[in-house]
Amino acid sequence: MEYTGAKALVESLKKEGVKVIFGYPGGTTIPLYDVLYDDKDIKHILTRHEQGAAHAADGYARASGKVGVCCATSGPGATNLITGIATAHMDSIPLVAITGQVGTALLGRDSFQEADVTGITAPITKHNYLIKTAEEIPQVVKEAFYIASTGRPGPVVIDICKDAQMKKAEYKHPEKFEHPGYKPTYSGHPKQINAAAKLISNAKKPVLYVGGGVIISGANKEVFELAEKCNIPVTTTLMGKGAFPETNNLSLGMLGMHGTAYANFTVTDCDLLIAVGARFDDRVTGHIERFAPDAKIIHIDIDPAEIGKNVRVDIPIVGDVKNVLKSLIEKVKPKAKNEAWLAQVAEWKKKYPLSYKKTKIIKPQYVVEMLDELTKGKAIIATEVGQNQMWAAQFFKYTKPRTFISSGGLGTMGYGLPAAIGAQIAKPEAVVIDIAGDGSIQMNIQELTTAVNNKLPIIIAVLNNSFLGMVRQWQEVLLNKRYSATNLCNNPDFVKVAEAFGAIGLRAKKPEDVKKVIQQALKSKDRPVLIDFVCEKEENVFPFVPAGQAINEMLID
Amino acid sequence: MKHTISVLVENHPGVLNKVAGLFARRGFNIDSLAVGTTEDPQLSRMTIVVHGDDQVLEQIQKQLYKLINVIKVFDLPPDKSVDRELVLVKVAVNAKNRAEITELVDIFRGKIADVGETAMTIELAGDSSKVEGAIKLLEKFGIKEMVRTGKIALLRGSDTK
């Protein structure tokens, strides 16, 4: 069968199971959009900015576990995707980004809307392709989806010249893909697993340090089994939220810069740290030499380059964490009695709980607690970046994977709303809430239109403190309240903004309004609701480990 | 500590950019990089000389393997490999020292590639110590210009990788 390149592209996407594309058309993607115009199987969601499309595809991927797909035109369209691609890359999210490129005859001539997309995206993708002929398209799409979704997942860019989309070629679907330079390791080395099992069975003060790799691998059940079998307390990274139920006794919540004090004390004091799908990021470790100083370290990760990158490791195990944990669970001795250690952990938990002081002004932590209570902990929470993100991580108890959707590695403000859109499209029945700050929400607020047009009942909880709160907090603590460029007292009226976009706008000014407005918002079934929570202006996120300090040296309140 | 690593890559446009970009953004130092085709037209071989401790070398190898276009990466220890470099050196000459330079070139088994009125271009090939030694001796005559290919290397014996 002879197809145009654009038609071959759409057919190939269908073969990969693509149901939805987030995108924005332009000159060099006109042939693609012409094919999508009559297509019945792939739904195109028109965002209002290409960055929104990339984040929405990313949110879709995180909520569903499938590959997210976004597309944009050449030049500015493609460069507007960059922040979204980098966000997905840092958090290992499977994403395929399709960009139009100028015709092959115009390449390299500084043509209108030309940008070197494969050059620009090389450092922020797992792989990328420049396609110059229609013939290459089916094979490249196959490879792109395979690479994006296997091993350590990540974004793949396919940059397609306009004439390659228009020319006809014989369409043949490649059944399989093998590449000599791409062979991820899935099962751990048995010798290493035995050694790890021995360490775990003999440890007196073990702790599991669980990251986003567990969510990606779908290994939450195995983490639970290992923790229960050996009585090991579990702390998660921001990316690992939902990998272990935070309502469980063994849960320590999050560790690191804004982690719980008890998680940080436990890690500092442990004699065995079992890192599972986590990468010893600086926000987790603080001062690296003083991180878990007395511990032996087992590091399980699918990416060999993560092992030994930031810390020395006693037992490295390269493999898919689900596979490795399964073998490990069989080999470890059950440890019914870890009592002294668990008692110590319980004491820290009791002595240093997460807390805040209630006043007559709305506390952002209270809003997050109420969102948890009123959704019975069952919502999908997307976040922006800053204080809102940390409170969303601290005061909502996550119990299931893929329910906390947040830009961890890159820390992208403006991520939450479009990611919530993607998540809601992936999970139409779920309650999806974007916990936002008044700064972040303005970075991609145009996506309210996308949410309204697609009748998505997303709740946007703006924790409005009229500040860029996280930077303000650093300025307060470290720079004697020199609030340089962080005061946002000239914010727009968010309720009116929401209404102008066709969404519902609500406002809570006092603590007693909080429950009421959330209940009201939860009633909306086909329209987004923005709630402006007028919060305490100078509330801080605690605990707080100032950058470069050891994690047990935190400011607790 | 210097290491010579051999990297087999797919012979595609853009691959050199990806490898060079990786070294730049991860802060790995390249002393030299030589790239050319191999016995297989689908593959190119890059010989990269880097310096760093064992941990840096390990990271370099692992990070290189993450590039999809990279097929194979291996370290070439000096005692287990042969290495060569080609250098062209343009040296200032006059009637008095011409013979002395020619003799020196002979000792190093180099060649006079080109002769001009006030300069000679000398071609030298060999392992690093030989090339460095020759350059050092030529310096006193005045080196006007120089170009080096960077090191290329293969395993000794019948072994291949």
Q: Chain B residue closest to A302 (CA)?
A: B66
Q: Chain A residue closest to B71 (CA)?
A: A181
- Spell out a b/e string for A262-279, using b for 16 or more CB atoms within 10 Å of the CB, else e: bbbbbbbbbbbbbbbbbb
Q: Chain B residue closest to A151 (CA)?
A: B66
Segments making up each domain of chain B, as ranges:
2-75, 81-154
CB within 8 Å of chain B, chain A residues 425-464: none
- What distance in Å separates the CA atoms of residue B45 and residue B6, rounded to the nearest whole number? 7
Are A536 and A359 in contact, with CB atoms under 8 Å apart? yes
In total, the C-beta contacts within 8 angstroms joining chain A to chain B are: 37
| Cβ contacts of B71 on chain A, cutoff 8 Å | 180-181
CA A355 to chain centre: 25
- What distance in Å separates the CA atoms of residue A406 and residue A62, rounded to the nearest whole number? 9
Q: What is the 3-state secondary structure (H, E, C) of A359-407?
A: CCCECHHHHHHHHHHHCCCCCEEEECCCHHHHHHHHHCCCCCCCCEECC
- What distance in Å separates the CA atoms of residue B84 and residue A15, rounded to the nearest whole number? 50
The residues near A175 (Cβ < 8 Å, ≥ 6 apart) are: none
Are B48 and B28 in contact, with CB atoms under 8 Å apart? no
| Residue of A122, A147, A180 with shortest CB distance to B18 | A122
Q: Chain B residue closest to A117 (CA)?
A: B14
Give mean pLDDT, residues A350-375.
97
Measured in angstroms, the CA of A309 and the nearest CA of chain B are apart by 7
What is residue A72's three-state secondary structure?
A: strand
Active site residues of A: 50, 112-113, 162, 470
Q: Does B70 touch chain A (CB under 8 A)?
A: yes
Domain range B81-154, CATH class:
alpha beta
DSSP type of residue A318: E
Are A177 and A144 in contact, with CB atoms under 8 Å apart? no
HSE toward the beta carbon, residue A235, CA cutoff 13 A: 29
Most distant CA pair in chain A: distance in Å? 72
pLDDT tens track for A313-334? 999 999 999 999 999 999 999 9
Q: Report the candidate in A383, A372, A212 with the shortest Cα–Cα distance to residue A283.
A: A212
Burial tier of A551 (Cβ tally within 10 Å: 0-12, 13-18, 19+)? buried
| Residue of B21, B25, B71 with shortest CB distance to A181 | B71
Q: Chain B residue closest to A181 (CA)?
A: B71
Q: Does B46 touch chain A (CB under 8 A)?
A: no
Single-letter amino acid code for the residue at A347: E
A182/B68 touch (CB, cutoff 8 Å), yes or no = yes
- What distance in Å separates the CA atoms of residue A446 and residue A235, rounded to the nearest whole number? 36
Q: Does B10 touch chain A (CB under 8 A)?
A: yes
In DSSP terms, A505 is beta-bridged to A530
Q: Does A123 touch chain B (CB under 8 A)?
A: yes
Domains belonging to chain A, first-starting first, are: 2-170 (3.40.50.970), 190-351 (3.40.50.1220), 364-534 (3.40.50.970)
In DSSP terms, B33 is beta-bridged to B48
CA angle B113, B115, B120 (to 5 degrees): 80
pLDDT tens track for A363-378? 999 999 999 999 999 9
Q: Report the candidate in A253, A258, A250, A313 with the shortest Cα–Cα distance to residue A280.
A: A313
Q: Band the pLDDT of B161: cuts 50, 70, 90.
A: confident
pLDDT in the model for residue A446: 98
Q: B81-154: same fold as B2-75?
A: yes
pLDDT in the model for residue B44: 97
pLDDT surpassing 90 at residue A177: no
Range name among A189-193, A299-303, A516-520, B94-98 with the lowest pLDDT average: B94-98
- What distance in Å separates the CA atoms of residue A392 and residue A432, rounded to the nearest whole number? 13
Give mean pLDDT, residues A175-202.
93
CA A524 to chain centre: 26
Q: Does B42 touch chain A (CB under 8 A)?
A: no
- Spell out a b/e string for B69-81, using b for 16 or more CB atoms within 10 Å of the CB, else e: bbbebebbeeeeb
Phi, psi (5° rounding) for residue A140? Answer: -65, -40
What's the whole-number average pLDDT of chain A?
97
Burial tier of A463 (Cβ tally within 10 Å: 0-12, 13-18, 19+)? buried
- What distance in Å separates the CA atoms of residue A121 and residue A110, rounded to the nearest whole number? 18
B14/A130 touch (CB, cutoff 8 Å), yes or no = yes
| DSSP per position, B2-55 | EEEEEEEEE--TTHHHHHHHHHHHHTPEEEEEEEEE-SSTTEEEEEEEEE--HH
- The residue written with tokens 């195995």 in the block is A222
E strands along A162-281, which residues?
A: 168-170, 206-210, 234-236, 251-254, 272-276
Q: Does A183 touch chain B (CB under 8 A)?
A: no
A543 preceded by a cis bond (ω within 30 of 0): yes
What is residue A172's three-state secondary structure?
A: coil
| Cβ contacts of A309 on chain B, cutoff 8 Å | 59
The residues near A110 (Cβ < 8 Å, ≥ 6 apart) are: none
pLDDT surpassing 70 at residue A105: yes
CB within 8 Å of chain B, chain A residues 288-317: 303-305, 308-309
| DSSP per position, A9-47 | HHHHHHHTT--EEEE---GGGHHHHHHHHH-SS-EEEE-
Single-letter amino acid code for the residue at A290: R
pLDDT surpassing 70 at residue A336: no
Measured in angstroms, the CA of B152 and the nearest CA of chain A are apart by 22
- What distance in Å separates the CA atoms of residue A450 and residue A23, rounded to the nearest whole number? 11
Measured in angstroms, the CA of A180 and the nearest CA of chain B are apart by 6
| Cβ contacts of A182 on chain B, cutoff 8 Å | 68
A181/B70 touch (CB, cutoff 8 Å), yes or no = yes
Measured in angstroms, the CA of A324 and the nearest CA of chain B are apart by 20
B62/A122 touch (CB, cutoff 8 Å), yes or no = no
What is residue B71's three-state secondary structure?
A: strand
| Cβ contacts of A303 on chain B, cutoff 8 Å | 66
A309/B59 touch (CB, cutoff 8 Å), yes or no = yes
| Cβ contacts of B22 on chain A, cutoff 8 Å | 123
Q: Report the candidate in A46, A294, A324 with the shortest Cα–Cα distance to residue A197.
A: A324
pLDDT in the model for residue A255: 98
pLDDT surpassing 90 at residue A456: yes
A308/B58 touch (CB, cutoff 8 Å), yes or no = yes
| Cβ contacts of B63 on chain A, cutoff 8 Å | 305
Give mean pLDDT, residues B74-89.
95
| DSSP per position, A175-187 | -----TT-----S
| Cβ contacts of B65 on chain A, cutoff 8 Å | 304-305
Measured in angstroms, the CA of B68 and the nearest CA of chain A are apart by 5
- What distance in Å separates the CA atoms of residue A304 and residue B63, rounded to the nearest whole number? 9
Q: Band the pLDDT of A176: cuts 50, 70, 90.
A: confident
Measured in angstroms, the CA of B119 and the nearest CA of chain A are apart by 40
Q: Which of A129, A147, A182 to mutate to test the interface with B (most CBs of B within 10 A)?
A: A182
> What is the percent of chain A where pLDDT is above 70?
100
- What distance in Å separates the CA atoms of residue A404 and residue A371, rounded to the nearest whole number? 13
| Cβ contacts of B12 on chain A, cutoff 8 Å | none
B14/A119 touch (CB, cutoff 8 Å), yes or no = yes
Assign domain B2-75 one CATH number from 3.30.70.260, 3.20.20.70, 3.40.50.261, 3.40.1710.10: 3.30.70.260
What is residue A528's three-state secondary structure?
A: coil
B66/A303 touch (CB, cutoff 8 Å), yes or no = yes
In DSSP terms, B117 is beta-bridged to none
| Cβ contacts of A123 on chain B, cutoff 8 Å | 21-22, 25
Q: Which of B38, B59, B62, B72 to mutate to test the interface with A (most CBs of A within 10 A)?
A: B62
The residues near B95 (Cβ < 8 Å, ≥ 6 apart) are: none
> Between β-strands B70-75 and B2-10, what pairing exists: parallel, antiparallel or unpaired?
antiparallel
- What distance in Å separates the CA atoms of residue A277 and residue A323, rounded to the nearest whole number? 12
Q: Does B27 touch chain A (CB under 8 A)?
A: no
- The residue written with tokens 């860029």 in the block is A468
The residues near A324 (Cβ < 8 Å, ≥ 6 apart) are: A187, A188, A193, A300, A317
Position with higher pLDDT, A252 vs A173: A252
- Spell out a b/e string for A28-61, using b for 16 or more CB atoms within 10 Å of the CB, else e: bbebbbebbeeeeeeebbebbbbbbbbbbbbbbb
Measured in angstroms, the CA of A280 and the nearest CA of chain B are apart by 15
pLDDT surpassing 90 at residue A179: no
Q: Chain A residue closest to B62 (CA)?
A: A305
First-last CA distance in chain B: 23
| DSSP per position, A453-503 | HTT---EEEEEE-SB-HHHHHHHHHHSTT--TT-B-TT---HHHHHHHHTS
Measured in angstroms, the CA of A146 and the nearest CA of chain B are apart by 12
